[in-house]
Structures are given as structure tokens and as C-alpha cells.
Amino acid sequence: MSTSNGATKAAIVTGASRGIGRAIALRLARDGFAVVVNYAGRRDDAEAVVSEIERSGGRAVAVQADVSDPAQAAGLFERAEGAFGGGVDVLVNNAGLLQVSPLAETDDAAFGRLVAVNIAGAFNMMREAARRLREGGRIVNLSSSALATSLPGYGAYNATKAAVEAMTRVLAKELGPKRITANAVAPGPVATELFFDGKSPEQVARMAALSPLNRLGEADDIAPVVSFLAGPEGGWVNGQVVRANGGLG
């Protein structure tokens, strides 16, 4: 995929070494984007995503960065611009942490980690995107349908995703003059390593039963939604939160 002047269209996907981020990176590569596959610590997994994209004829590069660090967030854009010979057109803010615990049992360190990655990380990347995306670009932030269910144990996590949704709506208005859209996708429970971590089979079954479709989502259920918002047909959708959750709420 290229811009009107022939430049390669490029996308940055944070937290793209596994799970939903991996599926999004692969889908955007199939859509024709050159992709920066960001990872925090799973280098081998990220490089495997790059290899899969390249085997299919696409272009990608794996870049380690902690998005909670403003300098490293800026470095992601610099690496993309250097690797693909131009600007960046799409940012997908997927990197995030999930910790479930009652508010009374959530310690300062756990809360600080959630805020650092889920809020500050998204903010750092959105700020860079607001300054550096090419005209007509797309920002897609990952939120969560947990906001709609208000399940016990999700208070701190939900607070971080509420912040992401709030920033998304404001940014959509701020970037309108540049024809840059900003939207959020809010998955329900998705069968990823992040979701399964620390949950018993009984808990997983209860979560799956919350959906009218009586199953967990899959990463490949979410990637096409992001693809739509990142592509030309999603250009009139702006400042919205798409709850991709099988009817959960």
C-alpha cells in the first residue's frame, strides 16, 4: 500500500509480539502496510511475527520499546520513518497490562504499573502520533468491554481504559483538521495468554458464558475491526468506541 505520492504506508502496532497485537500486525501487513512490530520483552515472538509477514511478501521490523517512556515512544516513530523511508500513517495502541483484584487489595506498585503502561503509554504514543502522523492518518486505541460490565476486580484496570476512551474522543476533535481519525476498539474477553493468566477453568467458562454467542472472542475477531478503522473505508468513523464483544454489553 502506498500514499498518493508513492510513499509506503506504514503502521505501528504496540504490544504486537503476541495475542491481539500479533493478529492486528499480521492483518495490517495483509492490507498492504509496512508494519513496526513493537514489543517490550518478547524479542523472539516479535521477530517471528516479522518473519511471518515477510514470508507473505510484506515488510516489517521488530522494535523493542517501553511505551511508558516518552523517549522510547518517540523512538518508535523514528525507527518507522527510517525503516520505511517516510512517515507513519497508522498507530494502533495495543500494548497494555491486565491485573484483576479488588480495589482494597490493589497495592501501589500494581496500580502504578497499570497507569504507566495503559494510560501513560497510550498518551505518549498518541502525543507522538498527533505530532507526526501524515495527513489522513488513523489512530486506533485498544480499550475494553470490561468498562460496560463493571465486574468486581476490574476497578483499577477499568479506570485506565476509561482514560484511554476519554483521550480518544478529544483527540478525534483535535486532529480533524488534519483528516486524522481517532477511534477505540473495546474487545470483550478474548482467548489470549494475557486473558488466561491466573484464571481457573471455571472462571474462563463463566466469562465465555457472558456473551450471547456463548464463547470467548479470538484475536482474529478483533483484527478485522481494527483493519476497517485503519483503512480507507473507515474514514468517516471518528471519535467512536467500537465494542467488539459478541453482544456482551
Domain ranges of the chain: 10-187+217-242
Give backbone dihedrals phi and psi of 38, rounded to 5 degrees, phi first: -85, 145
Q: What is the pLDDT of residue 200?
A: 87
Model pLDDT for residues 124-148, shown as the tens digit of each residue:
999 999 999 999 999 999 999 999 8
Q: Which of 33, 77, 111, 157 is catalytic?
A: 157
Confidence of residue 6 (pLDDT cuts 50, 70, 90): low
Q: What is the pLDDT of residue 4?
A: 52
pTM: 0.93
> How many other C-beta atoms can be found within 10 angstroms of the C-beta atom of residue 233?
10
Using DSSP bridges, classify how beta strands 181-185 and 241-242 pair: parallel, antiparallel or unpaired.
parallel
Confidence of residue 151 (pLDDT cuts 50, 70, 90): confident
> How many other C-beta atoms can be found within 10 angstroms of the C-beta atom of residue 44?
9
* Alpha helices, H only, the chain: 19-30, 43-55, 70-84, 108-114, 122-132, 146-149, 155-174, 193-196, 201-209, 219-230
Question: Which has the higher per-residue pLDDT, 147 or 229?
Answer: 229
Q: What is the pLDDT of residue 229?
A: 98
Cβ proximity of 104 and 155 under 8 Å = no
Q: H or E stretch including 63?
A: strand 60-64
Q: What is the pLDDT of residue 95?
A: 95
**Quick one: average pLDDT of 150-156?**
92
Any catalytic annotation for residue 39? Answer: no
The percent of residues above 70 in pLDDT, for the chain, comes to: 97
Q: What is the pLDDT of residue 34?
A: 97
* Alpha helices, H only, 42-88: 43-55, 70-84
10-187+217-242 to CATH, choices 3.30.420.40, 3.65.10.10, 3.40.50.720, 1.10.3210.10: 3.40.50.720
Q: Which grid cell sits at 239? A: 471519535
Partners of 90 in beta bridges: 11, 138
The percent of residues above 90 in pLDDT, for the chain, comes to: 80
